[in-house]
Amino acid sequence: MFRKAKETFWDLLGEILAIVLIVVYAIWILNANFRFIPAGAIMNILEILRNYGSIALVGVVGMEALSKRSFAVRIIFYALMALVVLFLFFPGTYANLIESVQ
């Protein structure tokens, strides 16, 4: 019973986060072509949502998928997710990641 409720919670949260992210990406792409949002606070918020929302979505979907898996598999996922999140707090890591993509 508790496992099913937990899975439903992560499913609902993942759906909401996916909808928010697709709206953010749509606004971001439309603004790149038509420039209807001036540079400033709103664009900074959209950029933060775009960057960190994807990581949050991966975490939520992973939690949903792992709610049915063994404890060992969950520990591995938690460790890898913690590694990603911790390294985002180091200033040079994010800049190096962006440079490697562009």
Q: Give the count of domains, the chain.
A: 2
Q: Which residue has the higher pLDDT, 95 or 1?
A: 95
Assess whether 20 and 51 both reside in one domain. yes
Assess whether 16 and 39 both reside in one domain. yes
Best CA proximity match to 83, nearest among 102, 47, 64, 58: 58
Assess whether 1 and 44 both reside in one domain. yes
Binning pLDDT at 50, 70 and 90, where does residue 1 land?
A: low
Assess whether 78 and 49 both reside in one domain. no
CA geometry: angle at 61 spanning 72 and 101, to 5°? 100
Assess whether 41 and 84 both reside in one domain. no
Assess whether 94 and 59 both reside in one domain. no
| CA 92/CA 57 separation, integer angstroms | 23
36-50 mean pLDDT: 89
pLDDT the model gives residue 87: 82
**Structural domain range at position 17:** 1-68
Assess whether 102 and 55 both reside in one domain. no
Assess whether 97 and 51 both reside in one domain. no
Q: pTM, whole model, 2 decimals?
A: 0.76
Q: How far is CA 62 from CA 13, 26, 56, 99, in A?
A: 12, 24, 10, 27
Binning pLDDT at 50, 70 and 90, where does residue 102 land?
A: low
Write the pLDDT tens digit of every residue in 71-82: 999 999 999 999
Phi, psi of 67, deg, nearest 5: -65, -20
